[in-house]
Structure 1
Amino acid sequence: MNGERVLRVEFGGWFMCRLATDPDPTDEPRGVSGSTFALAGEPDLDRVIVLNAPPPGTVRSYAPEVGVRVTRATVPGADVSEELAGGRVDLLDNPRFENRNFVLTVAGQEPIVPFRLRIGGADGRPRLERSMVMTPREPQADVHRVPQSVLQEYGGRSFRTDTALVASATGINDPLAHRAERRAHLAADLQQPDVPPVQRAALSKRIRELDIGLKNPADERVVNMTAIEEFDFPLHGRPVLHTALPGGARPQPGAPWRVTFWMGGWDPDVLCGFMRGELAVPLA
């Protein structure tokens, strides 16, 4: 987009995704042999990526507040954050990471399907909405029918550890110490009188999983707290714009938008991670 007038919308915040992990099958509803589980009293795992307003009964104690929001917005020569900052960022239609136990892609390079991004809209703010279309000739094609080269184009570009980058977003500089602190809180909760049996079972399971990471800092329960998966792809779906953009700007007709973001800092104890990125909209 060099040389073009572009609206850039930056966003960030915690998301939730209640998914099973290898070697469990992708559709395992409770978690058996991976590092994530549905606890006693919780609904089944559903793999849905939730950027705001988690379903009832899914938020665990000591989890961060789930909510991905606009943090800054600019057009060439101007900061227009006042009109967009704080607006919700949502992925609609129950999006999921589509890896399927290495059947579709390697770990860390899976696409998010469907990917229908909506930004803003509350309190009279501008609202932008557009979808990823991996196969324009067959936009509703099942993910299993999409060529692997296309899945890779729209999937994660890299999966790597970046302790400093994650810490700058989450504030967690020492994941191992963070695990120890979490365990201490849960152990104290477990010692409280009259803890209901279901809650007691859930707390005990969380403590056992944290102990695995504390005994082996190289375990994914710790290492994944420093890892990120990076995405960068165009949005070709029909653009939807409710109310005018800041300054009366208009999207350039027919031009794809581009979304660039990372998801990481994964906390398997509370099934949450951090998301940070930018939407670029070419302007007429």
Structure 2
Amino acid sequence: MSTPELTLEFAGWFIARLATDPDPTDEPRGVSGSTFALAGEPDLDRIIVLKDPSPAIVRSHMPPIGVTVTRATAAGAEVPALHGAAVDLLGDPVFENRNFILTFAGREPIVPFHLEITGPGLRLEREMVMWSGHPDTPVHHIPRDELEKFGGRIYRTDPEMVLAETGIGDPYESRVKRRDLLVSDLAGETDPVRVAGLRKRIRELDIAVANPQDERVINLTALEEFNFPLTGRAVADGEALGDLVPDHTRPWTVDFWMGGWDADLLCGYLKGSLTVPLRDA
């Protein structure tokens, strides 16, 4: 007999201010890759932000940042009280690849992975335990095969799936339009710091416009897929759950992709689900 489950589907835009190859992972401003901290912005910190970003890291023409529950079902029935709940990752999570030293491209884990879903009368939390029996091991000392159990399963392009979620009709044309918007913004800007930032963004988009195969274009159609169990400390409470009782003794499963990477905005799209086994009340 199958175990009854609660499934929460979620989606939305995130920010990840990270350096890209050939820059080292800890490069604070961006030098040789396709991503940069602009004049007036704080250093790149690699942190994956799913909600409430600081205004200091929000760039013009950025979509609304925030990942929320779009659907919730239990035993096939809708659970509308959970719709719209905020999805977050706690503990300043980052992609841990370190220029392919720790894992192969597209196989990096997100460390730490501490999922939180909150809303009126709702709190769900569960942590990832990456290397069972070795909880205090630094990530760079964990064997690659253990890291890859929790890393991306694959990195691939899927224009149809990614663009359907991001709303971008044509990746190349989106770079042309963004560049034109920024040129227009620049014409009316007088603040020297913002002028410097706009000029840098325009120069980077010029590279994309000159080459439709550039990563600044292609990555708008790419995604990285994840699927792994959460077996660490769990929290599940709130009246929004009603008679649903999450089982803390069984793994919860997250299945999601992150993609549609916009190098100009340092943001991307996340879509997936959390599956929580239930027990009798």
TM over 0.5: yes
- Corresponding residue for 1:266? 261
Q: C-alpha displacement at 1:69, in angstroms?
A: 0.4
- Corresponding residue for 1:123? 120
Q: CA RMSD in A?
A: 1.1
Q: C-alpha displacement at 1:242, in angstroms?
A: 2.5
Q: C-alpha displacement at 1:173, in angstroms?
A: 1.8
Q: Deviations over 1:130-170 (max 9, x none)?
A: 00001121212110111110111100001000001111111
Q: C-alpha displacement at 1:252, in angstroms?
A: 2.3
Q: C-alpha displacement at 1:77, in angstroms?
A: 3.2
For 1:251 and 1:139, the matched residues in 2 are separated by: 24
For 2:44 and 2:241, the matched residues in 1 are separated by: 40
For 1:50 and 1:245, the matched residues in 2 are separated by: 25
Q: Which runs of 5+ in 1 are unaligned?
A: none
Q: Check the 8 A contact 1:7/1:283 in 2, yes or no.
A: yes
* SS of aligned partner of 1:240: strand
1:1-284 aligned at under 5 Å gives the runs 3-80=2-79, 82-120=80-118, 122-124=119-121, 126-192=122-188, 195-244=190-239, 246-284=241-279
For 1:21 and 1:149, the matched residues in 2 are separated by: 24
Q: Deviations over 1:53-83 (max 9, x none)?
A: 1123110000111000000000113100x21
Bigger CA drift: 243-252 or 146-155?
Answer: 243-252
For 1:62, the aligned partner's letter is H
Q: What percentage of residue pairs aligned between the two structures are identical?
A: 58
Q: Deviations over 1:212-250 (max 9, x none)?
A: 011111110000000000000000101111225634111
For 2:77 and 2:38, the matched residues in 1 are separated by: 48
Q: Deviations over 1:183-205 (max 9, x none)?
A: 0100011111x521111110000
**How many positions carry a matched residue from both structures?**
279
For 1:91 and 1:68, the matched residues in 2 are separated by: 10
* SS of aligned partner of 2:102: coil
Q: TM-score, normalised by structure 2?
A: 0.97
For 1:119 and 1:139, the matched residues in 2 are separated by: 23
* SS of aligned partner of 1:134: coil
Q: TM-score, normalised by structure 1?
A: 0.96
User: After TM superposition, where is structure 1 displaced by more than 6 Å over at least 4 residues in a row?
Assistant: none
For 1:220 and 1:195, the matched residues in 2 are separated by: 31
For 2:170 and 2:23, the matched residues in 1 are separated by: 28
For 2:178, the aligned partner's letter is R
